[in-house]
Amino acid sequence: MLAPLARAAAFLLACAAAAALHAAPRLVDRGAARVTMVFDEGGAGDRGFNQAANDGLLRAARELGAVVAVVEAPSAQARAATLRRLVDEGNMLVVAVGFRFVPDVVRVAGERPAARLACVDCEAPAGGVPANALFIRFRDDEAGRLAGLAAGAATTTGTVGFLGGVDSGPIRRFLAGYRAGVESVRPGTRVKEVFVGEGQGAFSNPGRARTLADGLYGAGADVVFHAAGASGLGLFDSARAHRRWAIGVDVDQAAEAPQQVLCSVSKDLSAAVFGAVRDAVEGRFQGGERVLGRAEGGVGLAWGPAAPPATRARVEAALAAAAAPR
């Protein structure tokens, strides 16, 4: 009699265990949860884009127990080799930060199908996304439009500026949105554009950006929006010197020049990185493209402490009108 009861009890326990495994995320052994983030340039302390991504990685270490590290690819030629090395060292996830990594992530994912890679702020390639790579893209045009609304509402000279890191597709999307936003609230406003440079160093040259920003303000721009990474820190120096408005990017940059930062357009890079790591740690990582805009909470606007109330009201009215049913 005891043997059948024992078998029945064992069967019920097995069913309960199977149900629990099915209902809960399958956690990877925390001892194996090594995640490394790779930067193109600027490092983790750029007070902007890279730092926001790194904040998400640090959150994963605190909340998920992941063992994390950051490295910087020493050159454009070393990007793919750096990704290969990190995969081969046993990282459960390698996170590449920035659009320049797109071809390298595609290449390494194809070479090492057992690897898991994430490319943050990266557009999925035209040829398709490898099954083991996640491309997280923000709607740069939406972010640019938010900056444009603010610039158009604030300008009194009828001239505003744009300071880009490099003349590339993602930066041009920022610029296109910026132009559209400016035009929607102040038609006929002139938008002057400049770019820091090409290749390695364009996003980490605040001295060059300061010179370019001085030129924009000197040519009549009273608001300048940057999409130039750590180079953009030079814009804030120039804005303080000229007592003109600057618009930050990627994170709230009001602390860089509290009286001169009109607003910042932000990307929730921290949450995007944390989500990718969490999926990997919980055993549910999937390749593909994840697109984040205002509707998904991926893009937003943070006003600076000195922003004029009238400017804020005009922008909020424009956003409300755009969201109203037609």
How do residues 62-95 score in pLDDT, each as one tens digit? Answer: 999 999 999 999 888 899 999 999 999 999 999 9
The burial class, CB within 10 Å (0-12 / 13-18 / 19+), for 289 is: middle
Q: Which residues contact 251 (CB under 8 A, 6 or more apart)?
A: 47, 48, 49, 51, 52, 264, 266, 267, 269
Among 187, 164, 185, 166, which Cα is nearest to 175's?
Answer: 164
- Report the pLDDT value the prediction gives residue 326, as an integer from 0 to 100: 63
Q: Is the pLDDT of residue 17 over 70?
A: no
- DSSP count for the chain of H helices, then E strands: 10, 12
In this predicted structure, the answer to whether residue 266 has a pLDDT above a threshold of 80 is: yes
Q: What percent of the chain has pLDDT over 70?
A: 90
CA dihedral 310, 316, 322, 323 (to 10 degrees): -160
**pLDDT computed for residue 3 by the predictor:** 44
Can you tell me the distance from the alpha carbon of 145 to that of 82, in angstroms, rounded to the nearest whole number? 35
> Could you give the 3-state DSSP secondary structure of residue 44?
coil
pLDDT at 70: 96
128-147: pLDDT as tens digits: 889 999 999 999 999 999 99
For residue 61, the number of C-alpha atoms closer than 13 Å in the C-beta half-sphere is: 13
List of domains in the chain: 30-138+269-292 (3.40.50.2300), 140-268+299-323 (3.40.50.2300)
* 130: Cα separation from own chain's centroid: 21
**Global confidence as pTM:** 0.86
